[in-house]
Amino acid sequence: DYLLLVRQQANKYAKTTVAPPPKEIKKVQLPSHFQWFNNNQNDTKQEEQALDVWKKGLVSPFKSYQKYMQLHKKAPNRKEIKSKEEGELLFNSDSEADINIPSSLSQHSILKLLSYHVEWLNEDKFEQQCLFIFSLLVYLDPVLTSQNVSILRDVSRKCIELRSMVENKAPLNIIISIIAEIFGQVDLK
């Protein structure tokens, strides 16, 4: 009874047909807030997925390396950086062995050096700077205050800014990814 009534009512309404899809899709330059309509977005999604896989693959080796290095760090003779000049001398020494210096630094000194690197990061020596920042992050305690997290965010923002100016983006991407994935600042990519 009910179905018969519904069919009779449906027959009273005008018949509608669905238009067939267009045979040719025109390429149109859309405004930025509609760019997700473009078919080229599939390529971007694949690149983003590959980047996400790469980032996730960085987390486990970094954490295990960080744990190993913190267990085997130098004697508890904690060195304090008292001035920016002292930090600059420490960073500008050209010895490869100096990347082990952060193991003898206090957490406060590591954070000071990271904040100085926000000013020091530039296009000329960024690869060496990224190596030094990496070694600082290895010895940085993951339990941080909001002020300390702010320093990490500043470092990440500076790396993001510098990334647009250099050709070799890998060292900067590593630092950005470590800060995002290890220290929980995933909104900075």
Domain boundaries, given as residue ranges, for the chain? 38-181
CA angle 84, 86, 90 (to 5 degrees): 115
pLDDT tens, residue by residue, 119-160: 877 777 777 788 888 888 888 888 778 888 888 888 888 888
Cβ contact 145:153 at 8 Å: no
Which pLDDT score is estimated for 86?
A: 59
Which pLDDT score is estimated for 141?
A: 82
Which pLDDT score is estimated for 182?
A: 81
Of 6-10, 71-75, 169-173, the one with minimum mean pLDDT is 71-75
Q: Within 10 Å of residue 113's Cβ, how many Cβ atoms?
A: 25
Mean pLDDT over all residues of the chain? Answer: 72
> Is the confidence at residue 95, as pLDDT, over 60?
no
Under CATH, which architecture does the 38-181 domain have? Up-down Bundle (1.20)
Q: How far apart are CA 36 and CA 171, in angstroms?
A: 29
Q: How far apart are CA 99 and CA 128, in angstroms?
A: 10
pLDDT tens, residue by residue, 29-78: 655 544 444 444 444 454 455 466 666 777 778 888 878 887 777 655 56
Residue, of 90 and 101, whose pLDDT is higher:
101
